[in-house]
Amino acid sequence: MKSILNFFIKDYKFKSDVELFRVKSFVVIIFSALFLLFAFMIRTLFLGYYTALYTQYLYLAAGIISLFFIKKGNFRLIGNLLSVLIVLTEMFALFSNMSNAKPFNFFVDEFYVFIVFIFFSTMFAERYVLIINTFLILFSSIFI
């Protein structure tokens, strides 16, 4: 794992140790998310929920593209874009409820997912993106 981290951050000019920690954490979270996403995609194929694959493909593409942007040194840009993209796709999932799950269970699950996204925004995005994400989450929570 250390060699993978060094591949993505060896040419990066860090302003502080906090920024180094954020970039390393971001890369580890993206790789962990891609691994889990790949496992969920296999599960989705076996269960036959093909409509859920659209969102999963979008997440997969966003994760791979974000790794290339990190390699180029655009950590803040990709942190902001990925944060907003994830919240918007979850809002779409919340409004459409394509999983045909029981509404109460589905909404409780989405509530906890939104808490994780607020944490993600706090760690990797700028303050104005955190405010935008908070308003998007409030909007989707109120108007369901």
Give residue 118's Cα distance to chain centre.
Answer: 10
At residue 106, the pLDDT reads 62
Q: What is the spatial distance between Cα 130 and Cα 2, in angstroms, rounded to a whole number? A: 30
At residue 47, the pLDDT reads 81
At residue 103, the pLDDT reads 62
CA distances for 123 relative to 2, 23, 64, angstroms: 21, 10, 19
- Enumerate long-range contacts of 99-107, CB under 8 Å, 24 or more apart: 99/49, 99/52, 107/144
Domains of the chain, by residue range, sit at: 2-142
Global pTM value: 0.73
Spans of the chain below 70 pLDDT: 1, 11, 97-109, 144
In sequence order, what are the residues at sequence separation of 6 or more whose Cβ sits closer than 8 angstroms to the Cβ of residue 85? 58, 62
- Enumerate long-range contacts of 56-65, CB under 8 Å, 24 or more apart: 58/85, 58/89, 59/33, 59/86, 59/89, 60/34, 62/86, 63/30, 63/33, 63/34, 63/37, 64/34
